[in-house]
Amino acid sequence: MPSRALRVEVEHAAADALSDALLDAGAESVSIESLDSPRAVLSALFGEAADPARVLARALELCGQPPRVAYTLEALQDKDWVRSSQAQFAPLRVGRLWIGASWHVPPADAAQVVRIDPGLAFGTGSHATTRLVLEFLDRTMRGGERVLDYGCGSGILAIAAAKLGAARVDAVDVDPKAIDVTRENARANAVAVSACLPEALAPGRYDVLVANILAQPLIALAPLIAAHTERGACIALAGVLEAQAEEVVAAYAGHFDMTIAAREESWALLSGARR
């Protein structure tokens, strides 16, 4: 159960990126508040063993924000946090996919149902970057593909690929907690997803590769992602702000024909084909 809440004010343009980075760095959940105010307020929840100040410093570094910002930290009183968390998530449809939590009831005409409960790893479908990649998978997947989800978080993208007919789905993340969550979510969805740390990934090439991370890690990963894709393979890169898109495209231009395929809010989806 979360026991402390860290609250920090940021510019609205930086709120989504910092929210993602806080989750990547160790926050249990993050909500964005005061959307109609001059500055957004991020509220991040932490367990007793966490170091919120250290997590915030790491998150600011990940998303390229100034290293020092003012924040408040408060102890949480006993509360039904599960019910509070449930209220923040609504199901959504993306093409053939219906994504919802265990307490949601899918419509009768839902083609492929993906169950993801909000938890300790990023990815419920509610964030714009996740929706962009889900839309890419719905457009791209025809069945029988080998798929790699690089930076899997909750495993939502890997599970969606499996539901859409992939022949093989592998998933990696630098966070061991994300590996455990992905495996648990794959079992709950009755799909086969092999999840491991990046260094444990066996050599091999894939037909589809998706990575919803952040711009700078994506730039650093360009040679590795190229090495894991077959000629003609499709990739989708997300977690990239529109202002960062051209820099990421340039990092992949040596191996892929890249384009800015879609935009939502301030985020861009980059997609490409391996030459």
Calculate the dihedral angle through the C-alpha atoms of 130, 34, 53, 74, rounding to the nearest 10 degrees. Answer: -120
Q: What pLDDT sits at residue 232?
A: 97
Contact, 134 vs 208, CB < 8 A?
no
CB-based contacts of 163: which residues, under 8 Å, 6+ apart?
97, 112, 113, 114, 189, 191
**Minimal CA–CA distance to 22: which of 35, 34, 50?**
50
pLDDT tops 70 at residue 69: yes
Q: How far apart are CA 148 and CA 235, in angstroms?
A: 9
Average pLDDT over residues 193-207: 96
Q: How far apart are CA 169 and CA 242, in angstroms?
A: 29
Q: How far apart are CA 68 and CA 123, in angstroms?
A: 27
Q: How far apart are CA 6 and CA 52, in angstroms?
A: 7
Least confident of 4-18, 207-221, 256-270: 4-18
The identity of residue 178, as a single letter, is A
Q: How far apart are CA 3 and CA 5, in angstroms?
A: 7
Q: How far apart are CA 84 and CA 264, in angstroms?
A: 27
Q: Considering the chain, what is the average pLDDT of its residues?
A: 88
Residue reference for tokens 């592998």:
170
Q: What pLDDT sits at residue 273?
A: 98
241-254 pLDDT, tens per residue?
A: 898 999 999 999 99
Q: Domains in the chain, please, with CATH? A: 4-80 (3.30.70.120), 124-274 (3.40.50.150)
pTM of the predicted model as reported, rounded to 2 decimal places = 0.73
pLDDT tops 60 at residue 15: yes
Q: What pLDDT sits at residue 82?
A: 47
Bridge partners, 236 (sequence order):
210, 271
**Minimal CA–CA distance to 28: which of 99, 82, 66, 77?**
82
Average pLDDT over residues 104-114: 93
